[in-house]
A and B are shown apart, each in its own frame.
Chain A
């Protein structure tokens, strides 16, 4: 296979430049993460957790056993009546606290 040696415009230059830019952005994203890994300490939030003795993230506020999964008892999700089903959407995605799971002891 023979190729002409020339300096004419290559589509390859555009594609490789685009790829190089994406790689550069990817590298910057990794560097950003590495920098934050050493600098971020969440001091204000940690101070609040220490002061109030907070135990859980306020991500799932729909039910008490999803708001405080680490504090929930075994019966939390089935609180309404015997044989009640856990009906909150978060409950379907939330495993029981690790200390209540059968394998923990």
Chain B
């Protein structure tokens, strides 16, 4: 066993010496290789982390939401609809929700305003999300001035800031009382933004949705299952789009790696010829080439993956913030729960490590089986 290990150590020694003889070229390749793995792994880990976070946090989203559509657009829902919904067989409870958007020209940000009945807020009181508080540099006790639909200033006192732990859900939220909401948007008392329903038997949610669509043809029921499916699709789609963009980078790398690994230089061929002439066997040369491919590609893979891991799960995925943010001003400061998918790791390994090892081995083998004399003369 020991001689075998010693033999492998000598082979690695020789491989490292050979790699270091072309230091700049190989270090450059290692850096590009690591960067490539880092980018692909970052996209995979971010997509997977966000999918898991959405699935975890939104499993408590409303079972069924009912909107009213008018001319294909979301319209205000009449309070009378709540009674109709309540009477549909299978519906547990139905309550109206009030929420909407407010564009704040002071910071050019969109807020999501929502009535929070369980918080027992007074008319002039609000609770704000952590990102909103950060961007406006306000806190508990401060006043936030909004303009009503009629253009009148409406000062609102901040009585709380939502916990930053839930920033991924509440970054831009502004919670207020029903009276405050109706005063701000000048809404009559008999309308709501939409309705949320509970269903007695969750397995019948789809049947209940069909009954709602029959009873109220202008309605659009949205199921929790559809919400979860949408988020799953959103991040798969984004991953796919980024992969298309990264595809050109992958192709460039493949050309570089193939050129480096497959096209042995005359110097390398002569080197293999000399090694054969002084007694190395084909197996030794293949072993040396295998170590060369493995050391380089595995180091790049592990370093790239670990950097991506740190960046996504401990660095707040800041690298991708500009892509996710778009033109938005408010962006949540979130920490994703580390998550792993063995299948993804295997695919990443197969796409990045295996081709390089194969591209190193095959030309090495071809040079190793040729006549040493011919190889040295080339």
Contacts and interface: CB of A to CB of B under 8 A. Distances in A.
Interface of A: 1-3, 5, 10-13, 15-16, 18-19, 22-23, 25-26, 29-30, 32-34, 36-37, 40-42, 44-64, 66-75, 79, 88-90, 93-95, 97-99
Contacts, number: 219
Given A55-B58, A58-B173, A95-B234, A18 B299 contact: yes
Interface string B176-213: 00000000000000000010100000000000000000
Interface string B249-285: 0000000000000000000000000000001110010
A37 B332 CA distance: 22
Residue of B74, B163, B220 with most partner-chain A CB within 10 A: B74
11 contacts: A1-B279, A5-B3, A10-B13, A12-B13, A42-B337, A44-B163, A53-B97, A58-B171, A58-B173, A61-B171, A71-B222
Interface string B106-123: 000110101010100000
Contact of B340 (A25, A34, A89, A97): A34
Given A29-B340, A48-B166, A19 B299 contact: yes
Interface string B90-133: 00000001000100000001101010101000000000010100
A57 B329 contact: no
Contacts of B175: 52
B231 interface: yes
Interface in B293-333: 295, 298-299, 302-303, 305-306, 309, 323-332
Nearest first, the 5 A-B pairs at minimum CB distance are A12-B12, A33-B340, A45-B166, A89-B326, A62-B328
B306 A25 contact: yes
B230 interface: yes
B53 A19 contact: no
Contacts of B220: 73
B118 A29 contact: no
B6 A5 contact: yes
B302 A22 contact: yes
A51 B230 contact: no
Interface in B115-163: 116, 118, 129, 131, 162-163
Interface stretch (B24-32, B62-70, B361-369): B62-70
Contacts of A89: 326-327
B286 interface: no
B17 interface: yes
A52 B57 contact: no
Contact of B57 (A12, A57, A61, A62): A57
A22 B306 contact: yes
B177 to A, nearest CB: 14
Contacts of B279: 1-2
Contact of B72 (A46, A71, A73): A73
A47 B72 CA distance: 33
Interface string B40-74: 00000000001001101111111001010100111
Given A11-B12, A29-B306, A95-B233, A58 B74 contact: no
Given A22-B299, A42-B56, A58-B112, A51 B118 contact: yes
Contacts of A63: 110
A51 to B, nearest CB: 6
Contacts of B302: 19, 22-23, 25-26
A58 B166 CA distance: 10
Contacts of A66: 326
B110 A64 contact: yes
Residue of A59, A89, A95 with most partner-chain B CB within 10 A: A59
Nearest to A50: B60
Nearest to B119: A51
Contacts of A54: 58, 61, 169-170
B165 interface: yes
B168 interface: yes
Contacts of A18: 299
A26 B226 contact: no
A68 B219 CA distance: 18
B97 A61 contact: no
A76 to B, nearest CB: 8
